Structure 1
């Protein structure tokens, strides 16, 4: 029996309850063995963020997933550094774990973007894409994407960063442990 592992990639700057809900809903809907949160070092499609270190993002993800027995961290892209293409990462993971079936979880915004992904045709042979709906994005795609219904929450890391910069509450948007870490380390303050 092959191990079935979900991969949820992202900057996690900071990780919020939307990420946790998506991971848990996909884990349960597909009966996966685990979901790995995979912070990227420098995503190809985003500008480099200098304000928050890789170590801070890793620490926040650790805190966010600490109480879920089937959530873990996948550090492969952090260890590789530089820009990370999902194709290259998944080739390495498949070499490291040939008996694992990987389910790569993406939001509706990324489903629309799939045609622009690096080596998308080959990537579709390496992983099963799992799409979750996001408000105002279509899930129509020519690629084989399994759609999992999750409660839709209009929440983004950028919104949270703005709220913190304005000294507004983020209670219930992030796990309390992550809020404490952000305060303690004075992250996202202006």
Structure 2
């Protein structure tokens, strides 16, 4: 874990975005492993508002998904649910979120956390080449899985920014943001499967914190 050598540097905060429809233990465990692996000071979990690639299947409202994320992270003081995309009007784009965070909190070094599968579609994102301007990029992958950046357009663009250890990731020492790969434990939990279980009347206990289960039941979410 990164410790003493970071003491003179700015605070670094991770950003994990998603629909969180609903949030589950896979989200939380991945966030924890990235935070500890890179020596981050905290993690912001950002539920999407109006999603550019998702539509009617979003059965919980942005406000309900924000409530669920708040409940999911309520026992981890280093995690925070951020409402920046839920509160904005129209479709939310990651680059706009990063730009807003960077401008409002310029002393923070932001670390955008992405699943390795997103490299296949990153080139479809709005002005995706500018992501590296506003944040370090952390690519999550399962242990033992090698990411071949040459296989995707986005990977080829990001490869020159690649670093091999957290010690080399810092903006102050590099003069720019960097890209790093962080293995995380695969848990095989998906929000889609959880919604399907709820529609079928099955339990989602132990897939998400109990507080989230209770909220879903109280609000009668994901029913047929």
TM-score (norm 2): 0.79
Query: 156-165 vs 75-84, which deviates more?
Result: 75-84
Partner of 2:192: 158
Could you tell me which runs of 5 or more consecutive residues in structure 2 were left unpaired when the two chains were aligned. Answer: 1-8, 149-154, 162-178
Q: Is the CA contact 2:142–2:184 (under 8 Å) kept in the aligned structure 1? A: no
Aligned to 1:151, what secondary structure does the other structure show?
Answer: coil
Q: Deviations for 1:93-150, whole angstroms, at most 9, x for unmatched residues? A: 1110111111111112212222222112221121111111269x97332224411111
Deviations, residues 67-93 of structure 1 (Å, cap 9, x unaligned) = 001000111111213111111111111
1:51 Cα deviation (Å)? 2.8
Match of 2:46 in 1: 38
What's the secondary structure of 2:121's corresponding residue? helix
C-alpha contact (below 8 Å) 2:33/2:184 kept by paired residues: yes
What is the root-mean-square deviation in Å for CA atoms of aligned residues? Answer: 1.8
Pairwise CA distance, 1:156: 1.2
What is residue 222 of structure 2 aligned with on the other side?
188
Over 3 Å off, 4+ runs: none
Please say which structure displays the higher CA radius of gyration: 2
Range 122-131 or range 30-39, more displaced: 122-131
TM-score by length of 1: 0.93
Q: Name structure 1 gaps, 5 residues minimum.
A: none
Residue 179 (str. 1) matches residue 213 (str. 2): yes
- Number of residues of Structure 1 aligned to a counterpart in Structure 2: 189
